[in-house]
Amino acid sequence: MAADIPTFTLNTGHKMPSVGMGCWLGPGGGGDVVEEMCKTALKLGYRHIDTAYGYFNEEKVGKAIRESGVPRSEIFLTTKLPNHHHDYVAESLEESLEKLGVDYVDLYLMHWPQAYSRTDNKPIPYGQSPTFLETWKDMEKLLETGKVRAIGVSNFSVKLLELLLKEASVVPATNQVEVHPCLPSFELKQYCEDKGIVLTAYSPLGRPKEYDGKPVFLTDDDVVRIAKAHDATPGQVALSWGVQRGTVVIPKSENPERIKQNITLIKLSDEDMTALNVIHRKPGMHRSLLRYHSNSQDGTVFGWTYEQMGWNMVKGGIVADK
Ligand code: A2P
């Protein structure tokens, strides 16, 4: 049975479950672990799975869906166009559908605004063809094929969304970005709400194991205090905050107990929400928690500067508070 969680309505009229299983398991793709994880999730009531061409596991996700016994029509499935296919949109979708073994996806996202060259896989400088506007135009055409129910973007800032919306015929249904209590992105969230774009939070738990197993905000005093008061875990607090403020969350877990926990939301009070809304204001907390920031010695993200991305950040992903 589907879990009892809210759904959000996209600008296409389709419903999107507020909690999904995130399928990024590193560059190896995760192999059988992904298949098992998705099967467990579907058994425990998940009806939303988020993968990508670049997660290297579309075959395993598709196999899990087929063998789960849950009808395809009950599952909201997202996949994403990789950077090196920005001038190869229709073909790339076909490759993804083939690997997933499905006739359509519910949501197809441009994974990043940056394009890479298809021949040498190197980043193409900002503004050069294929631009994200050109790629978006090709994605719009996919809607007529019935092979995608909705299209959207990922890793887009307000600046890039503004540029996109000036030219777009179709408003993206969602924008999927890193969002959690250390990076609540209030301005982007408001902008998306104003434009009818659902904001999806990836890494809503802050990818805790990347910090040598030391979670950053899951051990925060306020998060722990609120968790105790609700007889819940810090992870449930972070995810419930995400859904209650109107964002979709897609936590990854391969552990059955945590898979279950992550789709068991709690009702937070106004006071709880207020406390969680300001965690990023504590010293050193306002930042991205993902490695692609700390790996970047020159302050670029996949070939573009933070300024080109429209991200108000400095080296290491620290947010440059105004
Ligand atoms: P595991 O798969 O062993 O559960 P994010 O989705 O923010 O990128 O975080 C994913 C990471 O968080 C994974 O390492 C996952 O480990 C861990 N994780 C998933 N659910 C929880 C939870 N409820 N509490 C703490 N850590 C979690």
CATH number for position 92: 3.20.20.100
Q: Which of 50, 51, 205 to mutate to test the pocket of ligand 1 (most atoms within 8 A of CB)?
A: 205
Q: Is residue 226 part of a domain?
A: no
User: pLDDT digit of tens for each residue in the chain (322 aa)?
Assistant: 999 999 999 999 999 999 999 999 999 999 999 999 999 999 999 999 999 999 999 999 999 999 999 999 999 999 999 999 999 999 999 999 999 999 999 999 999 999 999 999 899 999 999 999 999 999 999 999 999 999 999 999 999 999 999 999 999 999 999 999 999 999 999 999 999 999 999 999 999 887 777 789 999 999 999 999 999 999 999 999 999 999 999 999 999 999 999 999 999 999 999 999 999 999 999 999 987 765 566 678 888 999 999 999 887 788 987 6
Domain that holds residue 81: 7-206+234-266
Instruction: Supply the pLDDT for residue 295.
Output: 59
Count structural domains, the chain: 1
153 closest CA partner among 204, 124, 191: 191
CB 114 within 8 A of CB 302: yes
* Placement of tokens 């670029």 in the chain: 300
Answer positive or negative: Cα dihedral of 232, 233, 239, 242. positive
Q: What's the rounded Cα separation, in Å, for the pair 318 and 134?
A: 31
Q: Which of 243, 253, 261, 262 to mutate to test the pocket of ligand 1 (most atoms within 8 A of CB)?
A: 253
Q: End-to-end distance of the chain based on CA atoms, in angstroms?
A: 47
- What is the atom index within ligand 1 of the atom nearest the CA of 210? 14
- The first and second tokens of residue 171, run together, are 């408003």
Q: Is residue 89 part of a domain?
A: yes
**Closest C-alpha to ligand 1, atom 14:** 209
Q: Is residue 212 part of a domain?
A: no
Is the shortest distance between the CB of 20 and ligand 1 below 6 Å?
no
DSSP 191: H
Q: Is residue 80 part of a domain?
A: yes
Is the shortest distance between the CB of 190 and ligand 1 below 6 Å?
no
**Closest C-alpha to ligand 1, atom 16:** 253
Q: Is residue 55 part of a domain?
A: yes
Q: Is residue 293 part of a domain?
A: no
Instruction: Supply the pLDDT for residue 148.
Output: 98
**Closest C-alpha to ligand 1, atom 6:** 251
Instruction: Supply the pLDDT for residue 293.
Output: 66
Q: Is residue 317 part of a domain?
A: no
Element (H, E) at 93: helix 89-100
Question: In this structure, which amino acid lies at residue 210?
Answer: E
| Pairing of β 300-301 and β 304-305 | antiparallel
Instruction: Supply the pLDDT for residue 64.
Output: 98
Q: Is residue 279 part of a domain?
A: no
